[in-house]
Amino acid sequence: MSTINNEKTTVDPGTKTPAPRHAVRGGGRRRWLGLLLAVVALLVLASVPLWLSPYPVTMLSRILAFALLVVSVDLLTGYTGLPTLGQVAYFGAGAYAAGLTGIYLTTNAFVQMVVGTLVAAALALVTGIVAVRTKGFVFLMVTLAITELAHKQAEAMALTGGSNGLSGIPGISILPGGEPIALVGYLYWWVLFVFALGVALSVILVRSPMGRSMRGIRDGEERMRAIGRRTFMVKLVAFTFAGSLAGMAGTAWTAQARFVSPGDMAFALAAIALLSVVFGGAGTIWGPIVAAAIVILIRDEIGAIADGRGGMILGFVFVLAVFLLPRGIAGLSRRRAAAVGPTPIAGEGDEL
Amino acid sequence: MLLEVKDLVAGYDGSRVLNGVNLSLDTGESVAVLGRNGVGKTTLMESIMGLVRPSSGQVLINGIDLARKPPSALAKAGVGIVPQGRRVFASLTVEEHLLISARKRGEWTVKSVMELMPRLGERRTNLGSQLSGGEQQMLAIGRALVGNPKLLVLDEPSDGLAPAVVGQVGDVLTRLRSTGLAVLIVEQDLRLAFDVAERVLVMQKGEIVHSSSTAEFRADGKRAHALLGVG
């Protein structure tokens, strides 16, 4: 070692591909610009109740809760290479837990959020022990089975209101012992707070050493094992975190809807959440959030105008997106596209 | 003995490729495995790396048999792997590659690897997919080094590289050898193999049929020609 340091080898591997200035990840200027854009977006979102009528504000609340669910799908699908249909199970678990807490324990929004997130985390941890031992298509099927089991369980249980759903959930309150919030704008601000908290935690995760390991597993799990990493633990932590995030999104959903139905943890929702990740750009945070907004707008608003054909229009949009935006909406950012190239959804296989 | 391979038998889907390979490598020693195409060199390396499950035999690292253990057990036992085709992580930066692989405290750190291969320092923020073949090979070596291994196992490091770049890879490996790191290399490029290794093993039909010092092997052109078809 000392020999090497003293002799200071200069190895130039004769590259003919100079580093493009834009193709650099984690540049300081880019990071600050991203942070600035996020703050501006947050301020604009926060101001919405001041200049929009209650109906679009309620719709935006739904979009934010769904977008957080989509981010949780992206953490597994886009960042860890584990395409999943199981996040709605934890979303529903969080939603039901928050609703039941509201009915039987307290209307305090913070308590409901914590309880819903912890219930989803516990469920994700237990199911994750089995699920993360698989990969690729098998993982997709295992997570679909988790969703179906959770859905059927919610329909069968009296505690969750069976197939009628859980109704009679009181409005949330912010201060301990405070009055329930009645104004749409205040509810929206709570949902925005939960959304911002969830997204911030996700960004911190993907930029941490844990996030590096998740991307390493996506690129090649065997390679990660060959450098001595315990990939099972990394995948289990990622799965549990993503489940918690979906549960957190579920609590935000309950706070604005005050009703939870078994349909909130059904295959249809799981499918559009996964497609939103592909549409938005797997392996980015902002792309799937934008895609989630477009998906909800088409399904609920344009679909209502087009005689309930929202699902059909959504299908066309997804097909067009596959051909026109192979890297998703996030691929429209030239910098990102040049830096990353197509983001693999699943790992490259078992090769070292 | 740092590495001992005893009576190793392995193959794929019922076909036998290795017919009882025996080899050993001591601390600080560097050994090249040579042979024509299809004699079982890569199967031997994949068996040592834990990628192929041998049907019988042992792969002992410091006396502990790891023949049927996963690649992660090899890494923990102090074996750094540089696989054929580099296999860098496409979406991790050069620095992230080294950080993710740095496991044990030791001589090799992200900083010292970048001092050894300054090009990696210049490419610190570039993704694995943006590197040239030579840079990817340097990164694959650096990734193995930051695990502070006792033995570096390289499978065809010259594969797909221009001759000038192969020379630079050889420079790095030669300097690593001088640090006392044990090196086991499978290589088709004889110049690189001779630069790196002090001992040469030749394989034929799934067995080691020749073992000598590199100098001895190079001096006997007739034997080299008979064994490898060159010389």
- The rounded distance, in Å, linking the Cα atoms of B202 and B41 is 9
Q: Do B165 and A16 touch (CB under 8 A)?
A: no
Mean pLDDT throughout A212-232?
Answer: 90
Distance from CA of B1 to the nearest CA of A (A): 22
Cβ–Cβ under 8 Å, residues A224 and A216: yes
Cβ–Cβ under 8 Å, residues B224 and B217: yes
How many residues would you count in chain A?
Answer: 352
Looking at residue B227, its pLDDT comes to 78
Helices A209-219 & B94-101 angle (0-180, nearest 10): 100
Residues 6+ apart with CB under 8 A from A124: A90, A239, A240, A242, A243, A244, A246, A247
Looking at residue B226, its pLDDT comes to 76
Say yes or no: B150 contacts chain A, CB-CB below 8 A.
no
**Average pLDDT across chain A, whole number:** 87
Side-chain half-sphere exposure of B131, counting CA atoms within 13 A: 32
Q: Parallel, antiparallel, or unpaired: how do β-strands B199-204 and B30-34 relate?
A: parallel
* Total H helices, total E strands in chain A: 15, 0
- The rounded distance, in Å, linking the Cα atoms of B147 and B71 is 13
Chain A CB contacts of B151 under 8 Å are none
Side-chain half-sphere exposure of B174, counting CA atoms within 13 A: 14
Helices A209-219 & A231-257 angle (0-180, nearest 10): 110
Cβ–Cβ under 8 Å, residues B130 and A22: no
Place A9 in a pLDDT band, splitting at 50, 70 and 90: very low
Residues B48, B52, B55, CA angle at the centre, nearest 5°? Answer: 95
First-to-last CA distance in chain A? 28
Looking at residue A352, its pLDDT comes to 60
Q: What sign for the dihedral angle of Cα A97, A99, A105, A110?
A: positive
Cβ–Cβ under 8 Å, residues A162 and A155: yes
Look at residues A191, A170, A173 and name the one whose alpha carbon lies nearest to residue A181.
A173
Domains of chain A by residue range: 44-263
Q: Do B164 and A14 touch (CB under 8 A)?
A: yes
Mean pLDDT throughout A293-308?
Answer: 87
Bridge partners (DSSP) of residue B153 are B81, B184
- The rounded distance, in Å, linking the Cα atoms of B49 and B153 is 8
* ipTM > 0.90 (yes/no): no
Q: Do A228 and B103 touch (CB under 8 A)?
A: yes
The model's pTM: 0.85
What percent of chain B is predicted at pLDDT more than 90? 39
φ, ψ for residue B199, nearest 5 deg: -135, 145
**Is it the case that residue A204 has pLDDT exceeding 70?**
yes
Walk me through the domains of chain B, giving residue ranges and CATH numbers. Answer: 3-78+150-228 (3.40.50.300), 87-148 (no CATH)
pLDDT in tens, A58-93: 999 999 999 999 999 999 999 999 999 999 999 999
Looking at residue A351, its pLDDT comes to 57
- The rounded distance, in Å, linking the Cα atoms of A166 and A289 is 28
φ, ψ for residue B213, nearest 5 deg: -70, 155
pLDDT in tens, B85-102: 878 998 899 999 999 988
- Listed as own residue / partner, the contacts of B102-107 with beta carbons closer than 8 Å and 24 or more positions apart are B102/B146, B102/B147, B103/A227, B103/A228, B103/B75, B103/B146, B103/B147, B103/B148, B104/B147, B104/B148, B105/B148, B106/B148, B107/A1, B107/B148, B107/B179
Say yes or no: B218 contacts chain A, CB-CB below 8 A.
no
- The rounded distance, in Å, linking the Cα atoms of A57 and A31 is 30
Looking at residue A11, its pLDDT comes to 44
- The rounded distance, in Å, linking the Cα atoms of B198 and A40 is 63
User: Which residue in chain A has the smallest CA separation from B167?
Assistant: A13
Distance from CA of A222 to the nearest CA of B (A): 8
